[in-house]
Structures are given as C-alpha cells and as structure tokens.
C-alpha cells in the first residue's frame, strides 16, 4: 500500500510538472566523433576549454553515463532519431555512403515526425548520413530534379545541410531538395598541413579521374559544388539554424519548434578557421573543438536575446567516441579524448560509445547543475520527448527507447534503466545492466565481463570467475534481440533473419523466437 501511495504521489507530481510550462522548444545538437574527455567540464585535465558546453552542464543536467547506440556515424544517428537500435535494420556494421536508400523506413516514427504531430515546426540543419536518393548517376546528373528519400520525407519541414561525412562525396549546400549551387565539379582528399587527415577545398576539377596534383591522397573522386569548402560547415550551419529559428518564431510564436543540428566537427577533416589557430594546448584538434564550442555559444546568445531561452530545451551529445588520432594526443599533448575510458570510435569498449550528454532547460529542469550517473542511451530521446509532450508511442515505434523525463523534473527520481545494448562497427555486441557489462563473443573473441563501477577502464575480465553473471546477461540480450524490442509491449520483428554477429544465438533458435510479423520495409 505504501508503494501504491508513493507511486500515485509521484505520478501526480510528474503530471503537475509536465503541465507547469508550455511545450518546450527543443534543440538537439549532435557533434561528430567527440569523446567523453573532449568537454572540459568532464575532463579536469583537458588541454582546451569548452565554456559553452560547461555552461550547458552548469545550468542544466550532466549525464555522465550516457551512450550512443553504436560507435560510428550512421547507426548512431538512426538510433538517436528513431529510438530503435540500427542493428535491427539491414545495416549490421559500418556506415553508409552518401548515395543509398535512406535507412529510416517510410512510416517509421522519428523525433521529427513525433513532434510534428504534437504541433511543432521541425527543422534539420547539418550532416544527415542516413542515405538519400540523388537524380541520375555520377557524370549524368540532372540537378534540376529533387533529392528524395531524405530528411523532408522523415518528418522534417525544413532541411539545410550535407548528405554524409565529408569523405563520402556529393558535397554541396543542399536546402530543401536542391542545391542552389549544384555539385558539378570533382575533387579528392587533399593533404592537411595542420593535421594528420585531409582537406576538402579548392581547386576543383571539371572532370573525374586522376590528377597531377601532388597534394591528392586518394584517387576516388567526389562530386562537389564550386562554392563548397570544408571549413565553412560550422559557420553556415549555425547561421542557417539561427535564421530558421528566427523565421519560425516570427511566423507563429505560439507553436514550438524542434531543431536537429548535427555538426560535422570534430570529425575529419580537422579544419578550424584561422581565427581559432593557436588557441588551447591541443593543436588543431583542440582548436576545432574550441570553434565548435564558440558556435554553440552563438546559439545560446541568440536564444537569450530573442526571449526564447527560458523554455527552450537544448540536448547536446556526440554520435560516438573520438577518431583514432586520440592515441597520438596522449603522448603529444597529454589530452585524453576518451577520458578515463578504454578505446575510441568503432570500439565496443566504453570509449567508443560513452559520450558527453547535457540537457539545459531553464523552465523545466529542477535543481539545475546536477549530474546523473545512471545509464541512459541516445535511443531514449524519443520516449522522453513523447513523455514531455504528452504523446503516446505505438508498439511499432521507439522499441528501445525509455524516457528519462523524471530525472529532469524531479531531483529525487531514481528510475532504473532497462538493459542497454551497445554495438561496435565490426558488429560486436555488449549489454550493460546496473554496473555490469558483458561483451559478447564474436568471431575469435571470447566473452568479456566487466564491473564498471570498480573498473571503468575495463582492464579486468571477470567472465571466468562469474559464469552465472555471464549466463544471466546472455539470456537478457538474447531476449532483447529476438523480441525486437527492449521495452515492454508487443514483440516486433527485426528487419532481417539471423546474421553472423549473433555468435551466441543459434540460427534455428533465432528463427523460432522471432515474431512472425511482416518485416518493416
């Protein structure tokens, strides 16, 4: 009876909190390859400062045990936008090129389509990397025709940005379904004199093929617009984001807006603008993150001067851990991009998917400045936004999404996260529940069990000494995989049959337990 009374009281409190303010404006800022240790508020020994990220944490809530659903770009973005793990789709490992059918199936609920139904204006500015269809083929494009199977078909009212990472080509400033200046020229990666990666910058060429230019590092040609240059991404995206918010606010101040702002930094090419050169003590990489932080400050400044600050929720996070150059930054600069965690981008270890995650919402967050060390996932945004906007998720949406709204609204809340699944770029799985993490067997690799509270750096494999724990976690991840969902509700199909990365599940067992429903197309 005491539990019932407590639960009822908490629900009344939560209901009152949700109705205390109008629906918030929502901005999701998503950086690219930024590690846990690349925010100065999370890393006391950081070799550069990120004052605007630190402000988000100080004036909001810092989630110190937050995870991307994968350790590379495309699958993490799918999980963020849909609340469903990407390995349930046809993409089992790696990332997409620029020109492929969109990974988000028609009709699947996204953050944008959910909020659009709740009366929001929805906009996206930045890097997509989930697949698009372009008119024609390389060498015979008709850029007067529209791009299809892209953000405007997945719930967004507005799109300005680029199709994928800068190393995958078809580079132009697309707005809506067209590029004002089409990608009619060709280029390759060029050497970057300030970092170990490459640049995408003029001069460009009229035809594809080999070049006598000694600065080229690869032979693959990218389709590119004459006015495109890599170091303009952050400035253009921030300018367009602010302009779109201003237009929406001027159009109808009573309707809230949702802005998805996926930046391209600090993903290669590392190309900070000249005015940031020399800042910090971590070379060009630190300068690039200082520039990124600067643009986040521009967003905050606009919200303040426009009167939108109080009831705008900003969610800031990154798609995965840091690119491989994190290893060189340790001896050269003593900067640890992964913080105290093992590994980086592409890894199943914590450094691959434990990322910065801050939420700032002056009108909504109770007792700002707090930290929450319980596990959450980026897949949880869909259920959280649904809870905050009083929407109901159907069984066919957000299958792996669990709301963390109570943490924002109640400083005493202690929700228990259902098991969290993580996934490496090579297809290897892990499951984390409470303080225990089991990395599943994969190819020649045996199971690895870590107690994260005592061993956050994942140095001591306890699988041999805790066989019962391994057995229990294996049973839990097997159920999550085969039921097509993590959350309670009707079992859902994955989009494919058994695949080879499910080393611990026999094909016959998978097929026997998989829901006999039409797969999502």
Q: 472 and 383 share a domain? A: no
User: For residue 189, what are the contacts with CB-CB under 8 A and spacing of at least 6?
Assistant: 167, 198, 199, 200, 216, 217, 218, 269
pLDDT of residue 483: 96
Co-location of 6 and 120 in the same domain: yes
Q: Which CATH number characterizes residue 12's domain?
A: 3.40.720.10
pLDDT band for 518, please (50, 70, 90 cuts).
low
Omega before residue 203 within 30° of 0, cis: yes
The reply to whether 156 falls in a domain is: no
**Residue range(s) defining the domain that contains residue 476:** 428-513
- Distance CA(309)–CA(19), nearest Å, equals 18
What is the chain's mean pLDDT, rounded?
93
> Residues 475, 371: one domain?
no
pLDDT category at 211 given cuts 50, 70, 90 is low
Provide the pLDDT for residue 369. 97
Above 50 in pLDDT, residue 193?
A: yes
- In a shared domain, residues 235 and 289: yes
For residue 463, CA distances in Å to 343, 428, 430, 439, 455 come to: 20, 17, 13, 10, 14
Residue ending a domain, choose from 358, 381, 409: 409
Q: How far, in Å, CA of 171 to CA of 234, rounded? A: 15
pLDDT at position 7? 45
Task: Give yes or no: residues 305 and 401 share one domain.
Answer: yes
In 99-144, which residue ranges form alpha helices assigned H by DSSP?
111-117
Residues 351, 486, single domain; the answer is no
Instruction: Count up the domains in the chain and report the number.
Output: 2
**CB of 140 closer than 8 Å to CB of 123:** no
β-strands 140-141, 136-137 pairing: antiparallel
Contact partners, residue 497, CB within 8 Å, separation at least 6: 507, 510, 511, 514
Q: How confident is the model at residue 513 (pLDDT cuts 50, 70, 90)?
A: confident
Query: pLDDT digits over 118-133, tens only?
Result: 999 999 999 999 999 9
More confident residue, 16 or 357: 357
Residue 8 in this model has a pLDDT that exceeds 60: no
Whether residue 185 has pLDDT greater than 50 = yes
Distance set, CA 26 to CA 151, 252, 364, 372, 489 (Å): 17, 16, 12, 20, 27
Tally Cβ neighbours within 10 Å of residue 454. Answer: 9
CATH of the domain at 454: 3.30.1120.10
Burial class (CB in 10 A: 0-12, 13-18, 19+), 293: buried
Q: What is residue 253's predicted lDDT score, i.e. its pLDDT?
A: 63
pLDDT at 216: 58
463 band by pLDDT with thresholds 50, 70 and 90: very high
Interval 395-422: pLDDT, tens: 999 999 999 999 999 999 999 999 999 9
Asked if the model's pLDDT at residue 374 lies above 60, the reply is yes
Whether residue 452 is found in the same domain as residue 495: yes
Residue 400 and residue 339 share a domain: yes
């Amino acid at each position: 009876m005491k539990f019932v009374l407590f639960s009822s009281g908490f629900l009344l409190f939560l209901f009152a909190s949700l109705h205390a303010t109008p629906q918030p404006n929502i901005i999701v800022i998503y950086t690219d390859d930024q590690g846990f240790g690349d925010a100065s508020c999370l890393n006391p020994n950081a070799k550069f400062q990120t004052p605007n990220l630190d402000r988000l944490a100080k004036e909001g809530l810092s989630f110190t045990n937050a995870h991307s659903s994968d350790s590379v770009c495309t699958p993490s973005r799918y999980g963020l936008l849909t609340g469903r793990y990407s390995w349930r789709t046809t993409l089992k490992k790696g990332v997409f090129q620029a020109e492929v059918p969109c990974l988000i199936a028609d009709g699947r609920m996204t953050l944008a389509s959910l909020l659009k139904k709740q009366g929001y204006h929805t906009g996206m500015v930045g890097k997509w990397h989930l697949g698009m269809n372009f008119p024609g083929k390389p060498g015979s494009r008709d850029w007067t025709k529209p791009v299809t199977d892209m953000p405007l078909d997945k719930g967004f009212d507005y799109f300005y940005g680029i199709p994928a990472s800068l190393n995958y080509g078809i580079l132009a400033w697309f707005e809506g379904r067209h590029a004002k200046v089409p990608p009619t020229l060709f280029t390759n990666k060029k050497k970057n004199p300030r970092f170990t990666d490459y640049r995408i910058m003029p001069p460009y060429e009229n035809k594809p093929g080999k070049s006598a230019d000694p600065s080229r590092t690869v032979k693959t040609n990218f389709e590119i617009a004459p006015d495109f240059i890599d170091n303009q991404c952050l400035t253009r995206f921030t300018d367009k984001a602010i302009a779109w918010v201003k237009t929406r606010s001027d159009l109808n101040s009573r309707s809230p807006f949702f802005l998805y702002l996926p930046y391209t930094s600090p993903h290669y090419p590392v190309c900070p603008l000249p005015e940031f050169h020399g800042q910090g003590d971590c070379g060009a990489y630190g300068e690039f993150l200082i520039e990124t932080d600067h643009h986040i400050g521009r967003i905050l400044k606009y919200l303040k001067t426009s009167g939108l600050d109080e009831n705008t929720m900003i969610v800031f996070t990154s798609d995965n851990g840091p690119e491989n150059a994190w290893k060189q930054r340790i001896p050269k600069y003593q900067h640890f991009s992964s913080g105290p965690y093992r590994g980086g981008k592409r890894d199943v270890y914590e450094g691959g998917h434990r990322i910065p995650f801050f939420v700032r919402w002056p009108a909504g967050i109770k007792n700002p400045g707090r930290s929450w060390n319980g596990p959450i996932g980026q897949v949880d945004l869909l259920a959280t936004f649904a809870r905050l906007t009083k929407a109901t998720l159907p069984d066919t949406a957000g299958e792996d999404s669990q709301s963390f709204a109570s943490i924002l609204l109640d400083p005493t809340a202690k929700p228990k996260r259902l098991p969290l699944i993580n996934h490496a770029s090579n297809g290897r799985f892990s499951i984390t529940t409470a303080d225990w993490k089991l990395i599943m067997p994969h190819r020649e690799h045996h199971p690895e069990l870590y107690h994260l509270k005592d061993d956050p750096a994942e140095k001591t494999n306890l699988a041999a000494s805790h066989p019962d724990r391994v057995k229990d976690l294996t049973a839990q991840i097997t159920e999550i995989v085969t039921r097509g969902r993590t959350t309670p509700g009707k079992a859902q199909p994955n989009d494919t049959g058994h695949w080879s990365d499910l080393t611990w599940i026999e094909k016959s067992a998978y097929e026997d337990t998989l829901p006999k429903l039409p797969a999502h197309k």
